[in-house]
Amino acid sequence: MKLLIVDDSSVVRRAIERDLESGEITEVDQAATGEDALRLYAAKLHDVVTLDITMPGMDGLTCLDKIIEINPEARVLIISALRDKATAIDAIKRGASGFLCKPINPPELKEAFKLLIED
Amino acid sequence: MNDGDIQVFITCVQRYFESIKRDVVVVIEPPFIKDEEKPFLEYTGIIGISGKTRGAVCFTANGVMLESILSFLNEAPINRNVICDLVGEIANTLSGNAREEFGKDFLISVPIVSTGKNVRFQFPSDSRNYVIPIIWQGEKAYLLVCLT
């Protein structure tokens, strides 16, 4: 299983990678911007993408739209500090499979990931 | 921005520090208003705020506290770049979480990170500047909420 972690914070990217380490994941890519994420996703069509929203350049919701354009079945878990319901609903309407708020709670993240790959 | 709104940020601080390690207590001292010199420490993450209100939210801390947080997160190696990344991410998380109360029109920028006490940022002249003192693991940090 291929995982793509998109967040402008390297600390967050590594924390997500550590939290999700399991035998199921065979390959992990990381991107610090929406633009890099799209390049990686188009080349590898990762099984799961974790995606931040507030990033320099292309924001996460625009990146989400473009990932869904590439693959309408993409499994994208938004992980964002933006804790308002309107943003979460907007992300789900645009095709996200789930929405988690920062600060990251590792058991919650693992559970969300499990649900995503079982789907 | 009024005195009641500051509770939103206190809740965000509490939640953030509890997420690092639940059994390590975070002490949040009574907030105060400081319109003159702001109490910046070694590292500061600044989030510009626009939309219905404008100004900035800043998290400022010394390296010792930030290194402790990184250790709890199992981050290694710890260096200046990682510390700067973390202080920006904390500011981002605390500001973004405040949208739970202030809604999606509370627009937040990506973090700007500054080191040293001489922080270059154009704070609005008409903002009310609240300081929330935070004590964690014996180290002090501040959340500055400077909003119109």
Tens digits of pLDDT across chain B (148 residues): 888 899 999 999 999 999 998 889 999 999 999 877 889 999 999 999 999 999 999 999 999 999 999 999 999 999 999 999 999 999 999 999 999 999 999 999 999 999 998 888 888 888 889 999 999 999 999 999 999 9
CATH number of A2-118: 3.40.50.2300
Predicted local distance difference test score (pLDDT) of residue B73:
93
The residues of A whose Cβ lies within 8 A of any Cβ of B are 8-12, 14-15, 18, 54-56, 80-84, 86-87, 101-105
Residue-level pLDDT at B22: 83
pLDDT value of residue B1: 80
Residue A82 has pLDDT above 90, yes or no: yes
**Residue B75 touches chain A, beta carbons under 8 Å:** yes
Given a cut of 90, whether residue A119 has pLDDT beyond it is: no
> DSSP letters of B100-131?
HHH-TTEEEPPPEEEESS-------TT-EEEE
Which of B14, B99, B109 best probes binding to A when mutated, by most A CB atoms within 10 angstroms?
A: B99
Assigned token pair, A51: 């995606």
> How far is the alpha carbon of A71 from chain B, nearest alpha carbon, in Å?
28
Q: What is the mean pLDDT of residues A93-104?
A: 97
Q: Residue B6 has what pLDDT?
A: 95
What are the chain A neighbours of B110 within 8 Å (beta carbons)?
8, 54-56
ipTM value > 0.90: yes
pLDDT (0 to 100) of residue B4 = 85
pLDDT at A68: 98
CATH 3.30.365.10 fits B3-147, yes or no: no
Q: Is the pLDDT of residue A23 over 80?
A: no
Residue ranges of the domains in chain B?
Answer: 3-147
pLDDT at position B121, please? 87
For A30-77, what is each residue's pLDDT tens digit?
999 999 999 999 999 999 999 999 999 999 999 999 999 999 999 999
Question: A5, A16 in Cβ contact below 8 A?
Answer: yes
CB burial of residue A72 (10 Å; 0-12, 13-18, 19+): exposed
Helix (H) or strand (E) holding B74: none
Whole-model pTM?
0.96
Neighbouring residues of B28: CB distance < 8 A, sequence distance ≥ 6: B10, B13, B14, B132, B133, B134, B135
pLDDT at A88 over 80: yes
Task: Tell me how far apart the alpha carbons of residues B61 and B112 are, in angstroms, rounded to a whole number.
Answer: 14
Between β-strands A76-80 and A48-51, what pairing exists: parallel, antiparallel or unpaired? parallel
Please give the structure tokens belonging to residue A54.
Answer: 């507030």
Contact B92 A83 (CB under 8 A): no
B43-62: per-residue pLDDT in tens?
999 999 999 999 999 999 99
Cβ-Cβ contacts under 8 Å, B94 against chain A:
81
